A and B are shown apart, each in its own frame.
Chain A
Amino acid sequence: MEPLATPEPRWRVLRGVNAGDRWYRAALTGLALTLPLLLVALVGELVVSAWPAIRRFGLPFLWSSVWDPVAGVFGAAPMIFGTIASSLLALLLAVPLALGVAIYLSEFAPKWLRQPVAFLVELLAAIPSVVYGVWGIFVLIPFLRSYVVPPLRATLGWTPFLQGVFYGNSLLAGGVILAIMIVPYIAAVSREVLLAVPAAQREAALGMGATRWEAVWTAVVPYGRAGLIGAIILGLGRALGETMAVTMLIGNRHDIGMSVLQPAYTMAAAIANEFSEATTNLYLSALFEVGLILFVITVAVNGLARLLIWRVARGTAVGSRAL
């Protein structure tokens, strides 16, 4: 963590520069410019291609729920709703799990267990999205149907969240798979945040007679709060943009409903399903606009997350390493 904290190295002020140095610097600068140019190209392309739809539908695109390619009328509300709903459901399930893992690994686990368990949890991030999708279709959905939905209905069936018939592909299935997928991200960043909390915080709390859990909960977690929230928001950013597993599990229906047992749609899934089938220019343009909205939302969410993480682990690439 310290390379950035060291004072400006002396060699940077050396003046002696030969032709090779100039070429080297120019070449590296050229390569480094690729990224900003890519971002400009990406934003430009999205805006230009989405422009016909933006001009045609204006702001109501965001809250209209008609998606009719035949009539050429498009509104993205169901997808925006589905994207946010599935991601929030995923957070609801993933946050306790991931924070539990992070707290256990940084505070309680025996030394010999920490690296292996951290490695195994991070392996969850290595599983390709499409593999999660297959697992979700053939393992998770039957499991939900047999063991989760019936008891849920029996106890909470009266709430608006559990109405309707459960066919399998649903907001619930999409949310659960997303939860599993974002746990490693939230856990890895949270663990680094907790490890960055000074030992004095723990020692002070323990010295005042706190139990081990009280020390963690009252002295360590609050100290890293900004970073932990950052980790959670980073997970949210992942969930919002996740495509394949959700496309395979959420049911892909343009509908806004309260029930998690019903099919829904997400912006990423809509692009995945419809992009290569978009027959009219307006249809394509509407999908570009969906992509633009998705891009803007994820950039905003990730920016917020990084800001919060930097407040704790200033200047380190703590987030990007865990990714």
Chain B
Amino acid sequence: MSARRLRRRVVSGLMTTLVGVLSFVAVLALVLILGYLVAKGASSLDWSFFVNNPVPAGQSGGGVANAIVGTMIVVGVAALIGLPIGIGTGLYLAEYGSGRLGWIVRFVADVLNGTPSIVVGILAWTWLVRPMGHFSALAGSVALAVLMVPMIARTTEEMVRLVPHSLREAALALGYPRWRTSLRIIARTALAGILTGCLVGVARIAGETAPLLFTALGNLNFTTSVLEPMQTLSLQIFTYGTGPFDEWHRLAWAAALVLMGLVLLLALAARWALRSRHGAAR
């Protein structure tokens, strides 16, 4: 084997190893983050953490009950607003989206998908907080819904497009009207995929903080009124994580672990939904 040939093979081996090591490093980052969350947060997860509201600064104890309920309400309302619009837009793109409007909607969805979430928060602020004169959970939900729609629309379109044409043609040939074909046959067939998209979308917004800073704002008390400022886990983590007290830091880790668990649960549910019906779709 000539020296040159040997060198080339050594370089090849080294680079192959290097990219393997880099992959390991990336996975290691994930392990380190999740590991620290569990190590620092798990010990604080007790009954009182889940059922109590925050106590004034300086005192120990207290929980994040208000933030957990608040997250569910803010995200739930956002989903109520965002999912129908997103799914409808996706169906439009798949069914009628070959024209100019389809092109525009697709383009806008991609633009909005890349828009920083904090800028979307500004939009919700001008729409709801400024006219109402005070912060509200509803404004936060609207901001999250705006973030959600482009994502949901694009995945729904993609999933609906995966349905074979023959299925549609069969339904139309049997005399089914187009709209019923679209809803009963096409959307139904793509349901698992659409559901996956929705779960991914909800998972993405559940951890959002930036657009809530000046919309939902945060609240020390327990509230279920969407017209009042409301606490969410993400806002609570921000406040506690950047605050000066050790007790707050402990709670920040615990709340971060809960939020991470929630997001992971949604992400895994999304994967599972896709695999159960549409295993070959990807």
**Chain A residues within 8 Å of B, Cβ to Cβ:** 3-4, 6, 8-12, 14, 17-18, 20-21, 23-25, 27-29, 31-36, 38-39, 41-42, 45-46, 49, 96-98, 100-101, 103-105, 107-109, 117, 119-121, 123-124, 126-135, 137-139, 180, 183-184, 187, 211-214, 217, 234, 237-238, 240-244, 248, 268, 271-272, 275-276, 288, 291, 294-295, 298-299, 301-303, 306, 317, 319-321, 323
User: By DSSP majority rule, is chain B's interface helix, strand, loop, or mixed?
Assistant: helix
Cβ of A271: which chain B residues have Cβ within 8 Å of it? 118-119, 122
Q: Is the CB of B19 within 8 A of A4?
A: no
**Chain B residues within 8 Å of A, Cβ to Cβ:** 8-9, 11-13, 15-16, 18-23, 25-27, 29-30, 32-33, 36-37, 40, 84-85, 88-89, 91-93, 95-98, 101-102, 104-105, 108-120, 122-123, 125-127, 135, 146, 149-151, 153-155, 157-158, 161-162, 165, 168-169, 172, 177-180, 182-183, 203-204, 206-210, 213-214, 217, 234, 237-238, 241-242, 249, 252-253, 256, 259-260, 263-264, 267, 271
CB distance from A107 to the nearest CB of B (A): 8
Q: Is the CB of B96 within 8 A of A241?
A: no
CB distance from A58 to the nearest CB of B (A): 22
**Contact A135 to B114, CB < 8 A, known contacts A34-B85, A42-B119, A126-B264:** no
Cβ of A119: which chain B residues have Cβ within 8 Å of it? 271
Q: Is the CB of B108 within 8 A of A36?
A: yes
Q: Is the CB of B238 within 8 A of A244?
A: yes
Measured between alpha carbons, how far is A323 from B182 in the docked complex, in Å? 27
Q: Is the CB of B33 within 8 A of A135?
A: yes
Q: Is the CB of B12 within 8 A of A320?
A: no
Q: Is the CB of A213 within 8 A of B169?
A: no
Cβ of B252: which chain A residues have Cβ within 8 Å of it? 134
* A–B pairs, 28, beta carbons within 8 Å: A6-B165, A11-B169, A21-B179, A29-B101, A31-B89, A32-B97, A32-B102, A35-B89, A97-B22, A100-B22, A109-B20, A121-B30, A126-B263, A126-B267, A127-B33, A130-B209, A131-B259, A134-B253, A135-B33, A211-B9, A213-B11, A217-B15, A243-B118, A275-B125, A276-B217, A294-B116, A298-B116, A317-B157
Which B-chain residue is minimally distant from A271 (CB atoms)? B118
Q: Is the CB of B118 within 8 A of A35?
A: no
Q: Is the CB of A276 within 8 A of B149?
A: no
Which B-chain residue is minimally distant from A34 (CB atoms)? B85
> Considering the complex of A and B, which 4 residue pairs feature the smallest CB-CB distances, nearest first?
A128-B207, A241-B116, A100-B22, A31-B88
Cβ of B9: which chain A residues have Cβ within 8 Å of it? 211
Q: Is the CB of B117 within 8 A of A241?
A: yes
Which A-chain residue is minimally distant from B129 (CB atoms)? A276
Q: Which of A27, A109, A137, A319 contacts B88 (CB 8 A)?
A: A27
Q: Is the CB of B213 within 8 A of A275?
A: yes
Q: Is the CB of A131 within 8 A of B116?
A: no
Measured between alpha carbons, how far is A71 from B57 in the docked complex, in Å? 34
Beyond A36-B104, A38-B149, 10 additional contacts (C-beta under 8 Å) are A17-B178, A24-B182, A28-B92, A32-B89, A45-B126, A133-B241, A134-B237, A211-B9, A275-B122, A320-B154
CB distance from B170 to the nearest CB of A (A): 10
Q: Is the CB of A34 within 8 A of B203?
A: no
Which B-chain residue is minimally distant from A126 (CB atoms)? B267
Cβ of B116: which chain A residues have Cβ within 8 Å of it? 240-243, 268, 294-295, 298
Q: Is the CB of B207 within 8 A of A129?
A: yes
Q: Is the CB of B158 within 8 A of A317?
A: yes
Q: Is the CB of B213 within 8 A of A272?
A: yes
